[in-house]
Each structure stands twice: as C-alpha cells, then as structure tokens.
Chain A
Amino acid sequence: MSLEAILTQLLMGLTVGVNLVLVATGLTLVFGMMGVINFAHSALFMLGAYAGLVAATHLGSFWLGLVIAPPVIGLLGAGMERWLLRPLRERYPLSHLLPLLLTFGLSLFFEGSAKVIWGADIVSLGKPALLGGAVSLGRITFPTYWLFALVAAAVLAAAVWLVVERTSLGLSIRAATQDPMMAAVLGVNTQRLNTIVFALGSGLAAAAGVILGTMTSLSPQMGAGIVLDAFIAIVIGGLGSFTGAIVGSLLLGQVQSFGVALLPAFHTPLIFLVMAVVLVLRPSGLFGSTDRR
C-alpha cells in the first residue's frame, strides 16, 4: 500500500471508529450500571435515523433532523427504562435474562413498527449540498460527508467524554458503573441516574443513526450490523468500561477499514477473530474489571 492509501484507510477507520463510540457508549454504560445487554439498542439507532428523516423531510433541513432526532429517541429510551426496565429490576433484581428477553421483544416490536410505518424498502436521507463531493487534505482526497461524519461524531464523543470524566454527574455515572450498590449507599440517586444514562445512550445511538444513515441508507434492519460491531467493541474494551468502549471502538474501526482493504473476503471473520483472541487472553476484555458478572 502506498502512503496515501494507508492514510485514507486510517481516516476511514477513524470515521467508523468515532461513530462506533457513539453507539457503544450507551451499550456499555447501561451494562455497567444495570447489568443489562440492551438488545433494543439497534432499534434505537434505526429509529433515530428515521426520526431524522421525518424531521428533515417535514422541516426541509438535514441539520434540523440531526438536532431533533437525538432528544426524541433519548426520551423514548428514558421511557423504556422508567416504565419497563425499572419495574422489572425492582421485582427481579437478580435476573439478567429477563431484561434481555424484554429488550429482545422491544427490538422486534420497534423493527416491526418501522416496517409498518415506513415500509421494508431501503430509503435514503439526502445530504445537504454543502457536504457533497470531496475535499483534498494534503496528499489525499476524502469524501466531504465522511469528513463531516468524522468531525461531528468526534465532537459529540468528546462532549460525552467531558461529561463522564469532568462533571459531578459523570462522577456519579462512573461510580455507579463500578459498583451500583456502593454508589447508592453513598447517596447517589441511582434510579434517576439509570434513566439519565439510558436516555443519553439512546440519544447518542440516534445521532449515529442519522449520521451513518445519511452516509449509506435507511432500512428497518439497518441497526443490526453496526450494533453488532459496537457490541464486539465493548466486549474487546471490557463491558461496562467507558474508556474500554472508546479504545475498542477505535481499534475495531481500524481493523474493519484495513480488513476491507487488505483481506476483502475475510474482514468480518477477522473482527470475530480479534474479539476471540482478546477474550481468550483477557477474559474480561482490555479494561474490564475482574468482577465476573
């Protein structure tokens, strides 16, 4: 590979990676705090993209779609947590499988609803003219929209990082992901925090849905692939770890990008291979605690 080709693949991998961070954040924080693998996360990603599409078509602006979709889906996520997951957790605090079944059912419900409302066919969300074409960055040219996707997701991810690492809310979140019981004992309102984190994760997934949906296309099953990747990223990084989600996502973005370029036929098995190797060497992932949930 030439230097230009390597740089291009690096940038593409980074674009995929930062968007994966947005999707993975919700998954990993929800798991850390509630011990729940949220199967409906892919549906929230998908609904985010469609919410963006609806807003953009009715209001005539891609940007409004991008701004409106995350809070709408965030509210939906908050509702899911408050009225479904919380009652379930209060009644069966020890079960990790009931929430799994619940979110599995919700994902089917949302996917089915999307098919009813918007049809099963692929649709596309038009990108603004400003973001068409390509830009040249020194020795390489890069699609403008990809650059936008990279920057927008990176800005959002950085904002989330600041919130999690530098605010008192973030301190509570980090405490609650490490040890929910101890955090509650120390006076953190973990119930409210669960709802906030669920809303935050859902909103971020929706933002990624609009950004990536515009890059490719929209369909009711569009979330499956990316959320699978996000899952693998957080497993590699260590479930429940925010840092792990970032590192895992960025790593996976590069594995994907170079995998597609160098081993086109085998890039998907390559991803699973990376995950299997990490898990065999470090059963709790790179940044996972040794606590076996």
Chain B
Amino acid sequence: MTRVPAILIAAALILAPLGVGRFYSAYYLNLLTWILIFALFAAALDLALGYGGLVSFGHAGFFGIGAYGAALALRHVSFSLWAALAVGIAAAALLGVVVGYFAVHSRGVYMAMLTFAFAQLLYEVAIKWVAVTGGSDGLPGVGRPRVSLGPLALDLSDKRHMYWLVLAFVGLGFALARQIVASPFGHALIAVRESEERARAIGIDVTRHRRVALVFSGALAGLAGALFAVFQNFVSPELLFFALSGEVVVIALLGGLGTLYGSLVGAVIAIGLREVLSTYTDNWLVFLGALYVVCVMCFPQGLTRLFARAV
C-alpha cells in the first residue's frame, strides 16, 4: 500500500464519527466498528495462515475465549477496560500455547481439523458450563467500563467514543502484526511457509516458529474478541462456533492472504455486503452464497494473489 492512500484512509477512519447525524446514521458507525474488529480478527488469522502457512480452521476459539475472558474479567475481577483486554488477550495466548503444542506437527487439512476440534471443544464448554458462561444464553450486560487516559475520558455508551476506542486498538493490533511480519522472526516464518526443509537446513527451528506464530495470532484474535465483547455488551457461544471460523477464513481470503491490510478490504466486503443484503431482503443468505461462488469463479486472482504459494 502506498503512503498517500494509506494516510487518506487512516484520516477518513479517524474522522468518520464526525459525520454521524449529518451524512449518515449511527447505525453505519456501528457497522464500521464491527468491520474494524473483524478486520483485526482476519489479520490475526492472516498472520498464521498467510505468513506462517498454518491452516487454522478454529480461529473462532481464540476470538471467543478472548471475548469470554474479557466479559468474565469485567464481572469477577475488576470493572476496568484494561483488566478486560488483558485477561482476554492472555486467555487467547494461552490457548495458542496449548493448541500450538498439539497442532503444529500436523499439516494442511489435518491441522485444520485439529484446530477446529479445539474450538469446538470450547464451544461445548461454553454451552455446558452454565454456572460460569451462562450456557447457550451467553452473558448479557457485560458492561461498559469508563475509560480515562489522563484528561481524555471516554464514555463507551456513546457510539462515537466506542468507535474511537476500537479504532485505536485495531490500529495498534495492525501495527503490531506489521512489526512481527517485518521482524527477523517474520522473515524466518515466511521461509518456513515456503519450504520447511530449506528453512530447517539453514538452522531455523521450524516447530518453535510455528508455535510462536500461533501464539501471536491467537493473542491478536483474542484482542479482537475482547473488543467485540465490550462493543456488543454481550457474549454468547456463537462467538466460538465453527461458522465464525469459516467466516474469518473467507474474509482473509477475499482480502488476499499474506497482506494483513487485505483483511480490512475483506471485512468491508463480507460484513458490509451481508449487512446491506440483510436490510433489503430476508433471503440474503442466497445472495451471499451466490456472491462467494461468483467471486471464486470470476476473479479469484484479484482477491487472493498469494494463493498458489500460501497453502
């Protein structure tokens, strides 16, 4: 991405809340908040899938455990945003350690199924462990803590303040992901993706790199989940369900694997379209499905340029 458009997009994102009431309703700002969170979620997946070649089909597990971690921290630990985010991220990173321990030895579809199994296990736990997770009803009324940073105080019940908070953390997440990718570790990770044998031959610890990548990816997805919990003021087992794992793969693919920023494009297309379609027609699922098919059949190259190499 060249510098000028990037700055323009960033400026537009920062200034977006000022147009509420003048040019568009708060509904669209909410939609944009949702898109930003999912862009971060997809970028987290991209870190593992696009850069590391780790085929995760269980990323909803990281997102969901981040959301539940944040919600439970707000309830039982401390009614503070920082505690919520810290617990959410830590829980997801820990899950990354556990999943990484078991899953990094398998490849391709088998790794997809193992990661999928872990996420599905968590989904079952969220449904069955009613005392803590609220079962299939989830935890409504997570609460929106007051945030004050020196002179700056945010009231998160205000949609604009919520948006800015999410934007700040999503920006931070993207910057972090970019740092990781550009670091020596990131380069080694790409080497592992391209050829394990050659990476091993030049002294790269393949297993450790794959594990660490999964922990980073999980932690970022956990941050997205924690933000989502505060944003929605509600968590439910749906956040751990495999349909969400599929959706985030679609978002990352639509945007282009191994690009990070592509996730933002993918999230705008996938979530924006679903939202627009669902306001115009009850049969939006038909159109969304047809759209995926058309996208794949007609211009897969434009959407996914690193395809043949990535997986």
Give residues in A with beta carbon < 8 Å to B: 31, 37, 39, 84, 87-88, 91-92, 94-98, 100-102, 104-113, 115-116, 228, 231-232, 235, 239, 265-266, 268-269, 272-273, 275-276, 279-280, 283-285, 292-293
Contact = CB atoms under 8 A, between A and B. Distances in A.
A285 B297 CA distance: 32
A284 B114 CA distance: 11
Interface in B227-273: 242, 246, 249-250, 253
B300 A283 contact: no
- Most chain A CB neighbours (cut-off 10 Å) among B125, B308, B310: B308
Contacts of A108: 285-286, 288-289, 292
Given A97-B307, A97-B311, A104-B250, 7 more contacts: A95-B307, A95-B308, A97-B249, A98-B307, A105-B295, A269-B125, A276-B118
B128 A265 contact: yes
Contact of A96 (B108, B246, B287): B108
Interface in B111-129: 112-114, 117-118, 120-121, 124-125, 128
24 contacts: A31-B109, A84-B293, A88-B300, A91-B300, A96-B108, A101-B253, A101-B296, A104-B292, A106-B292, A108-B286, A108-B288, A109-B285, A109-B293, A112-B285, A112-B286, A116-B283, A231-B113, A265-B128, A272-B120, A272-B121, A272-B124, A276-B121, A279-B114, A283-B107
A84 B300 CA distance: 13
Nearest to A95: B307
Nearest to B107: A292
Contact of A88 (B102, B242, B291, B297): B297
Contacts of B300: 88, 91-92, 95, 98
A2 B112 CA distance: 40
A291 B311 CA distance: 15
B110 interface: yes
Given A94-B308, A96-B311, A276-B114, A105 B292 contact: yes
A195 B4 CA distance: 50
A111 B114 contact: no
DSSP majority for the A interface? helix
Contact of A272 (B117, B287, B296): B117
Nearest to B290: A109
B284 interface: yes
Given A92-B307, A105-B290, A276-B117, A87 B297 contact: yes
B250 A107 contact: no
Nearest to A113: B286
Contacts of A104: 246, 250, 292
Contact of A110 (B118, B289, B292): B289
Nearest to A283: B106
A192 to B, nearest CB: 21
B283 A112 contact: yes
A111 B250 contact: no
B56 interface: no
Given A101-B250, A292-B107, A112 B289 contact: yes
A156 B189 CA distance: 48
B177 to A, nearest CB: 20
B285 A115 contact: yes
B197 to A, nearest CB: 12
Q: Which of B108, B118, B285 has the most CB of A within 10 A?
A: B285
Contacts of B249: 97, 100-101
Contact of B293 (A100, A106, A268): A106
A109 B286 contact: yes
Given A94-B308, A97-B304, A283-B105, A275 B113 contact: yes
Contacts of A109: 285-286, 289-290, 292-293
A102 B304 CA distance: 13
A272 to B, nearest CB: 5
Contacts of A113: 286
A293 to B, nearest CB: 5
Given A280-B102, A283-B105, A105 B289 contact: yes
Interface in B92-146: 102, 105-110, 112-114, 117-118, 120-121, 124-125, 128
